[in-house]
Amino acid sequence: MQKFAVFISGNGSNLQAIIDSVANGEIKAELSLVISSTDKAFGLKRAEKAGIKTLVFSPDNYTNRQSVDRDIVIALKEHKIDFLVLAGYMRLLTPYFIKEYPNKIINVHPSLLPSFKGAHGIKDAFTYGVKQTGVTVHFVNEKMDNGPIILQDTVKINEEDTLETLEAKIHRVEHRIYPQAVVLMADQRLKVKGRRVTILEKPEVKAENSQ
C-alpha cells in the first residue's frame, strides 16, 4: 500500500476531505503524515483528531528555503512516503525538493489553469468578469501553478454570485475532485508524458528486475 503525506498551512478543509475519503475506503493508501509550515494551522487539529502524525517546519527557524526543504525530505524518507499532496500549503517548493519527488507531488488550484495563477485565483477570476472558472489538480514542477494537469472541473459564475458565494462553490468542487486525484495517485493510474497526463484503467505493472 502506498503511503502519502499532506502539506498544509491553514484551515485544512481539503485535508479533511482527504481524511474522510481514506476513512471510507475510497482512497486505498495510508495517510501517514501531515506537515505544516506553521503550528497555528487548524488542519493540525484535524490530523490529530484522526490519529495522523503531524510535523511542523516553520520557515522562521531556518536561514533559507532549501534548508527547510532538506529537513522535510529527511522526514519524508524516514516515514517512507511515496507521494505528496499539497492542500493549502503556502510555500513554494525548491527545485531540490521537486527533483526528489518527480511527478509525485500534486496540488489543487482554484481556477482553470493556465488562467488565474497565483494565490488569489478565485478573486482574480471574479474581478476579471469571466463567466466560468473552476478547479485544477496538477502535478507540481519548478514553476508556480505550471505542472501537467490531472483533473479539472468547471464552476459557473452567475450574476447573483458574490466573491464569498463563488469561494464556497469552488471549495465544494475542490473537496470532491481532490480526493479523486489522490485515488489515482494511490492506485498508480497516472502516466505523464510531457504535459499530457493519461489516466490508466489499471496501474502499470513494472517488471520485478527493472531498474
Residue 109 annotated to the active site = yes
| 158-183 per-position pLDDT tens digit | 999 999 999 999 999 999 999 999 99
Q: Is 210 within the bounds of a domain?
A: no
Predicted confidence at residue 206, as pLDDT, reads 55
Catalytic residue among 109, 138, 171, 175: 109
Give the domain CATH number at 42. Answer: 3.40.50.170
Number of domains within the chain: 1
CA 102 – CA 81 distance, rounded (Å): 13
| 83-121 per-position pLDDT tens digit | 999 999 999 999 999 999 999 999 999 999 999 999 999
Report the alpha-carbon angle 65-69-73, nearest 5: 175
In three-state secondary structure terms, 186 is helix
- Check whether 210 has a pLDDT greater than 60: no
Q: Between the CA of residue 77 and those of 39, 83, 137, 154, 178, what are the distances in Å? A: 22, 11, 24, 36, 24
Q: Is 211 within the bounds of a domain?
A: no
Q: Is 86 within the bounds of a domain?
A: yes
Q: Name the more confident of 139 and 210.
A: 139
Residue range of the domain that includes 102: 3-199
Q: Is 204 within the bounds of a domain?
A: no
